[in-house]
Structure formats: structure tokens, C-alpha cells
Amino acid sequence: MKMESRNTIREIAFRYFGGQAGDGDEQALYDFVVQDRSHLKLLKQWEREWSASETADPGTAREWERLRQRLALRGEMPQMRVSRTPTLLRRIASVAAMVAVGVCGLLGVWKIASDLSPAHYYTVEVPLGEKSRIVLSDGTVVWLNAGSTLTYSDRFSALNRRVELSGEGYFEVTKQRGAAFRVNAGAYEVRVTGTRFDVSAYPEDEFVTTTLAEGSVELMRGEQRIRMQPGESIQFDRKSEAFLRSYVDPAQAYSWTENRIEFDNITLRMLLAKLSRQYNVRIFLESDSVKERRFHVSLRNDETIRDVLDALKDIIPVRYEYKGDDIYIREMK
């Protein structure tokens, strides 16, 4: 490669890292890297030089570094486990290098990373009886409830903001130009730009529920598109495959992030499922006649499970019994 040509490409790269790419710069960088695999190493070297340069914008450099690290988890709750699982999909298996993805619309760098390296996935797992708070590299804050997992690619970036949720998560999504934030909840996908919402998608539950606190979201299932407004809660019935819309106090949906359980209209069956996960116990309801009874409940996490069950007896005529570590509840007659 001629020195003049190399210097020209270096200048293009520096403009690109700084978010000042001109017409054709993106394609020039892409062509440069795919021309010779050794050029990828050179591009990464230039990125380091750009990051260290005195003229680099400090804010842009910090954003670049944060995304370059890929897994910017800052957990504030205990026992958060992170596992890394490689995917089988490899477009070019012989190249293992990873290119950082910037925050200034760096589509060409994203194309290079997609073409030349295999994707890997990170999974945050939260045990029963625990909660975790993480911050994704775009600044989005995610609270994960007990027994939940969040999975996302190491290519998570301003151009690829996709996550998969199993369990319950409360999201405070950073508004960002580029790609919308998407949550795959199994039964449907939640698409947002910048907002606060709660998604409950435990595989064992019969409903997948999204409750919107602020902003707007769109639920997507096949050809269906459902727009939500703040204060709305939409349940998807797994059996009937129907969507049910209601109006709620959205703060109740994410009260668990504040160590509370608060609902104006919850069934005994649904409450016991939440208590089982929150306290990491197995609760069996032996009387079908009371499982759909609805009532108001307001609890804080400083109550023990016995405190909760004793209070429950004053609302619904039931009694409970421990058998080992399991709890059995039946109607009093």
C-alpha cells in the first residue's frame, strides 16, 4: 500500500471516529479492511491513536471507549452472574478480530464487525429471591426481577440495540438517534426510542404483560402492531393469543424495583407466583375456588414470607402449612 494512500485512509478513519465522515468515507473504510485482513489491525491502531489524541472530543472519546468495552455492566445488587455463549453463525470463521462500534452513526465500522467476526452473546442471570440493576453501554438502565435473564450481543451498540428478556425487567431506555431499542419478550417484541416501561414475560406465566410509565412503545407480533400510551398495561394471553388492554397506575408495575409489591386488583394466584419468586420458596395453592379472588395488596420487602401469609389470612379465608421448605395454602371452610 502506498504511503500516500495509507495517509489518506488514516485521515478518513480519524474523521470517521470523530463522527465527521463525508460522502464515500464509509465505503472507503469498508473496502480498505476487506482488501487485506491485516488492515483491520491497522484500523484498530488508528482508533487508539485517535482516542489518545489531544484534539479528540472528550465526550465522544468517552462514549467510544464505553462501547468498545462491550460489556459495561455496573451491577448494584448481589449475585449477578454473566455468561458468554458463542453463536454458531459465522460469516467468516477464520477472522476472530472484533471492531469497536462508535456512537456517531458509524455504520461502516458496524458492517466490518458484522462481516469479519462471529457474534457472541452475554446473559445476565438473576437468582430467585434477588434483583439486579445493570447499565447497558448506551446508557439504558435495566432492573431485572428475581428469576429473570437478559441476553444481548457483544455487538450491542447505537445501531443494534436489541435484547432478549425471560422473566421481568423494568427499562429506562436512553433516547438515541440511530436504532430503536427492542426487547424480545418471546410472545412479542417491544420497540421503543426513549421511555420507561415494565415487561413481565416469565415462561411459566399465562400472560406476558407490558406496562408503560413514560413515552411510547409499540408491541409487534407478526403483522400486528399495537401502540401504547403512558398508563396503559397490555396483557398477551398465551392460550388465546389475544391482547387485553387496561389502564393502571404504572408505578405499581415496577414497585418491585423499590422493594415493594403493590397492586390494586391482583388475583391470589398471581400474587402467590410473585411471592414464590421474590422469597425463593415454592407455594402450592390447593383450593381452586379462591385462586381468582381479587384484592388490594401493599407490601414492603422487610416483611418475611410468614408475615405476608399471616396478613393474607385476614383478607381471604385461607390457611397455610409448611411441609419442609414448601408452603401449601388451602381455603378455610
Residue 7 pLDDT class (50, 70, 90 cuts): confident
pTM over the 0.85 mark: no
Distance CA 271, CA 288 (A): 14
Domains and CATH numbers, the chain: 259-331 (3.55.50.30)
- Under a CB-based contact definition with an 8 Å cutoff, are residues 213 and 196 in contact? yes
| pLDDT score recorded for residue 117 | 59
User: What secondary structure does DSSP assign to 117-186, as a single string?
Assistant: S--EEEEEE--TT--EEEE-TTS-EEEE-TT-EEEEETT-BTTB-EEEEEEEEEEEPPP-SSS-EEEE-S
Residue 128 C-alpha cell reads as: 430467585
**Mean pLDDT along residues 293-320:** 86
- pLDDT at residue 109 greater than cutoff 80: no
Please say whether the dihedral angle defined by the alpha carbons of residues 32, 34, 36 and 38, taken in this order, is positive or negative. positive
Return the minimum-mean-pLDDT range out of 31-35, 145-149, 198-202: 31-35
Per-residue model confidence as pLDDT tens digits over 223-281: 999 999 999 999 999 999 999 999 999 999 999 998 888 888 889 999 999 999 999 99
Please say whether the dihedral angle defined by the alpha carbons of residues 192, 195, 201 and 202, taken in this order, is positive or negative. positive
Q: Which residue has the cell 411510547?
A: 216
More confident residue, 172 or 43: 172
| pLDDT score recorded for residue 37 | 65
In whole angstroms, what separates CA 181 from the centre of its chain? Answer: 9
Helix (H) or strand (E) holding 189: strand 189-192
Average pLDDT over all residues of the chain: 78
Residue 207 pLDDT class (50, 70, 90 cuts): very high
Contacts of 38 (CB under 8 A, 6+ apart): none
